[in-house]
């Protein structure tokens, strides 16, 4: 593969937001009020958590959605005040049904979002970029936003970071064709995007399973990646080094 094909492609092929308060899905370019699990699965068969890893600077809810959520909370507060005053009796459910109706501004694309209609929830903040090289105790807390990290996986990751300072957890490797269509997208257990090494632990319970693609490793290797697979239910740091040495891969820069 020539150098031009091996160059990483920027994941941000579209603007992040529109002038009228919508977000733009970085997978398909569609304008949305809020990104849902239903949309990411239909669009590219990934989760919202994986989308956040791929596009850490892309917001998952727009200003329209946030304003509508705040307005709903205000309406519920008014209804509750009426009930507390008890003059006259008010049916909160009837008022809510009438105010929401069939033409609610954020009904579309929202049915798969957990807790979307729980009015006591805070408006979801925009996702901040995650720096995987920050202090490990801070990193562990941030990663809880996208799923708890098993302790044995995290300890192995910490040790490998001494040898591979650019190592990332749950890193997604993808490549687009010249026409913008995504050729492939694979999630890894751990990967070093600088040295292009993919670490896979298929026998562990915390292994990230991709949709079945028998040519996965071949596609990555053609793109310049080295795929390292280690069997065993509880792989150790020493076993990883042993595997690297057997393949002639230096574990130091």
Q: pLDDT per residue over 130-142, tens digit each?
A: 444 444 433 433 3
DSSP-H helix ranges across 55-113: 63-85, 92-100
User: Domain spans of the chain?
Assistant: 1-128, 136-246
Q: Which residue has the higher pLDDT, 154 or 105?
A: 154
Pick among 1.10.3470, 3.40.1350, 3.30.70, 3.40.50: CATH of 136-246: 3.40.1350
pLDDT score, position 191: 94
Strands 226-229 and 197-200: parallel
CA 110 to chain centre: 17
Please say if the pLDDT value at position 54 is more than 90.
Answer: no
114 vs 251: CA distance, rounded Å: 42
33 vs 9: CA distance, rounded Å: 26
Q: pLDDT tens, 159-202?
A: 999 899 999 998 999 889 888 888 888 999 999 999 999 999 99
Q: pLDDT tens, 191-206?
A: 999 999 999 999 998 8
Please say if the pLDDT value at position 151 is more than 90.
Answer: no
pLDDT score, position 52: 86
Binned at pLDDT 50, 70 and 90, residue 115 comes out as: very low
Q: Which residue has the higher pLDDT, 251 or 58?
A: 58
Helix, strand, coil share (%) of the chain residues, nearest 5: 35, 10, 50
Helix (H) or strand (E) holding 183, with range, is strand 182-187
What is the model's pTM?
Answer: 0.44
């Amino acid at each position: 593969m020539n150098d031009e094909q091996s160059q990483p492609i920027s994941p941000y092929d579209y603007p992040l937001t529109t002038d009228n308060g919508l977000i733009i899905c970085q997978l398909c370019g569609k304008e949305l009020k809020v990104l849902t699990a239903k949309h990411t699965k239909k669009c590219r068969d990934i989760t919202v958590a994986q989308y956040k890893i791929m596009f850490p600077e892309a917001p998952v809810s727009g200003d329209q959605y946030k304003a509508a959520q705040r307005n709903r909370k205000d309406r519920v507060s008014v209804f509750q005040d009426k009930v507390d005053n008890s003059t006259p009796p008010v049916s909160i459910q009837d008022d809510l049904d009438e105010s929401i109706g069939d033409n609610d501004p954020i009904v579309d694309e929202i049915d798969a979002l957990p807790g979307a209609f729980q009015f006591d929830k805070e408006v979801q903040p925009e996702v901040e970029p995650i720096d995987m090289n920050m202090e490990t105790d801070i990193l562990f807390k941030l990663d809880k936003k996208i799923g708890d990290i098993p302790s044995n996986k995290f300890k192995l990751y910490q040790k490998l970071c001494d040898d591979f300072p650019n190592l990332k957890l749950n890193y997604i490797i993808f490549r687009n064709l010249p026409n913008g269509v995504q050729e492939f997208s694979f999630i890894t257990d751990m990967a070093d995007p600088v040295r292009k090494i993919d670490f896979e632990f298929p026998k562990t319970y915390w292994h990230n399973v991709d949709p079945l693609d028998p040519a996965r490793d071949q596609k990555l290797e053609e793109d310049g990646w080295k795929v390292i697979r280690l069997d065993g239910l509880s792989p150790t740091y020493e076993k990883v080094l042993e595997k690297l040495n057997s393949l002639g891969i230096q574990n130091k820069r």
